[in-house]
Amino acid sequence: MHSHLHGLDLTGMGRESLEAVLAAEVLEERDWAGGEAFAEAYLMETRGIIFPWNMERDKRNPFGSLPGPDLVGFVAENSGYRFALWEVKTSSEETYPPQIMSVRSGHMGHQIDRLAHDITTIYQLIKWLHPRVRCGPHQAAFDRSCTNYFNSVKKSVAIFGVLIRDTQPNEGDLLARGRTLRGELASTTQCDLVALYLPCWQLDQLVPSNRQGGDSWITGC
């Protein structure tokens, strides 16, 4: 992987960014839940995100778990592609916003900040993706995403925070966090917060419905 990344068309600052990312390596395991599958299906349909790997394979292999965010893929843009990273949270809490939108460790605000600034997380994502796209149809998207990231001095990524709720819709779920992120992130970092409100299910129905009924649980009431 190192030799492949060193062969990319990088600027001087891009190469410095690459070396900084390659020097950061800490392993982390992730668990998966029904809400993440819901977010993956929804955002593939609405945002055109490319997922280069069947996530179900890694769900069966705890040593292959995706590090860092809940989901990772590529999103097309005028300059080619860039990495698309997601954090997914679910909450039935009858407060707006729910506690999981805070900046406490493990909550949405903290995790988005980590995706935007923690190069150890980016290193793990690149390391995880590389063998899955090498010599395949998504290698060009991977290479362009890496090039954009390094040449932007580690800023060009698309980050999505997805909140899944079984409560009534309320703009207070995202408003304060969105205002904070607008003032903290670089202009070359895209960050979208999305709230999905379930009209027909309770959150604890997502996983069993997905296992028993295929994809029918996301198609309508």
**Which single residue is written with the structure tokens 């690149």?**
126
H-helix or E-strand spanning residue 87: strand 80-91
Look up residue 81 and give its DSSP letter: E
H-helix or E-strand spanning residue 74: strand 71-77
Q: How far apart are CA 8 and CA 14, in angstroms?
A: 10
How confident is the model over 118-163, as pLDDT tens digits?
Answer: 888 888 889 888 988 988 899 999 999 999 999 999 999 999 999 9
* Residue 139 contacts residue 133 (beta carbons within 8 Å): yes
How confident is the model over 164-200, as pLDDT tens digits?
Answer: 888 899 999 999 999 988 888 888 899 999 999 987 7
Mean pLDDT of 55-63: 44
Cα atoms in the 13 Å half-sphere on the side-chain side of 120: 7
* Residue 68 contacts residue 121 (beta carbons within 8 Å): yes
Buried/exposed 125-155: b ≥16 CB within 10 Å, e otherwise: bbbbbbebbeeeebbebbbbbbbbbbbbebb
Predicted confidence at residue 37, as pLDDT, reads: 77
The larger pLDDT score, comparing residue 35 to residue 161, is at 161
Mean pLDDT of the chain: 80
Predicted confidence at residue 55, as pLDDT, reads: 53
Q: How far apart are CA 187 and CA 197, in angstroms?
A: 29
Query: Is residue 5 pLDDT above 60, yes or no?
Result: yes
